[in-house]
Amino acid sequence: MARFFSWMVHHRDTSCFRPSERDLYEHMQHLRQIGAGATAASHFEQAFRMCHEVLGMLHVDIKQVLSPRVTGAAHTMFLSKRKLVQAPAFSVHAIKIFEDVCLNSESMHKRVIAGALMFCVFACARWFDAMHIDDIWKNVFSSMVLLEADCSKHKTSIRKESKTRLLPFICLGRFLGAKSWGASFMEARDHFGLSKPFLPSWNESTQTFGKHRMTTCEAT
């Protein structure tokens, strides 16, 4: 909005708080000409709507000034945005390293962290969802090991019904190793007496787990 107000002062002979539809459209064209970011016009449109509601632009008919050609210009600029490239998935080699850490590391907290990463991979769980797991347990039959968990808060819990329903997770507790990483993970959790949160933040100075959930930045 500051950029728009500045443009109005230099190119128009009217108040910044009573622009016309033409003013907004030509400002959109100005943003394109100066090489503004692809989302600049769209963000300006959102900011203008907010200012209209918050500041009370009494001489502005919001439906008239934000005409289809104005919103269309913003949309066209937005479509020129560089396509989002997802981060590469973990390779089998990377997962094998996590498994080795979970099975063989002398540092029990590393077994816990590597096991949590393995759980997210094999349960197809979002990191946010996994951090809100209420309970996790091991299910063993012969040589098969399963890890099962109940999640109380997840990305898809939008309606009140879903917010009061646990989301179940299940994953195989064995990958390429002869031993079960899932069993090692649960033993490491028991070593620290972990319950909730699923994976607490690790304190290097005290060599203990804290009370807060581990963030994605710390996990990275």
Q: What are phi and psi of 47, to 5 degrees?
A: -65, -40
pLDDT band at 43 (very low <50, low <70, confident <90, very high): very high
What is the pLDDT of the chain when averaged over all its residues?
89
pLDDT at 112 over 90: yes
Q: From the CB of residue 144, how many other CB atoms can be counted at a distance below 10 Å?
A: 11
Can you give the pLDDT at residue 208?
Answer: 92
Residue 125's contacts (CB-CB under 8 Å, 6 or more residues apart) are: 119, 151, 169
Q: From the CB of residue 56, how many other CB atoms can be counted at a distance below 10 Å?
A: 9
Can you give the pLDDT at residue 159?
Answer: 59
Taking residues 33-50, report their average pLDDT.
Answer: 92
pLDDT band at 219 (very low <50, low <70, confident <90, very high): confident
User: Per the confidence metrics, is the pTM higher than 0.75?
Assistant: no
Can you give the pLDDT at residue 93?
Answer: 94
Can you give the pLDDT at residue 146?
Answer: 94
pLDDT band at 41 (very low <50, low <70, confident <90, very high): very high
pLDDT at 216 over 80: yes
| Helix 92-104 vs helix 181-192: crossing angle, to nearest 10 | 50
Query: pLDDT: is 12 or 99 the higher one?
Result: 99
Taking residues 41-48, report their average pLDDT.
Answer: 93
Per-residue pLDDT tens digits for 141-188:
988 999 999 887 656 555 555 555 678 899 999 998 889 999 999 999
Can you give the pLDDT at residue 158?
Answer: 55
Do residues 198 and 185 touch, judged by C-beta distance below 8 A? no
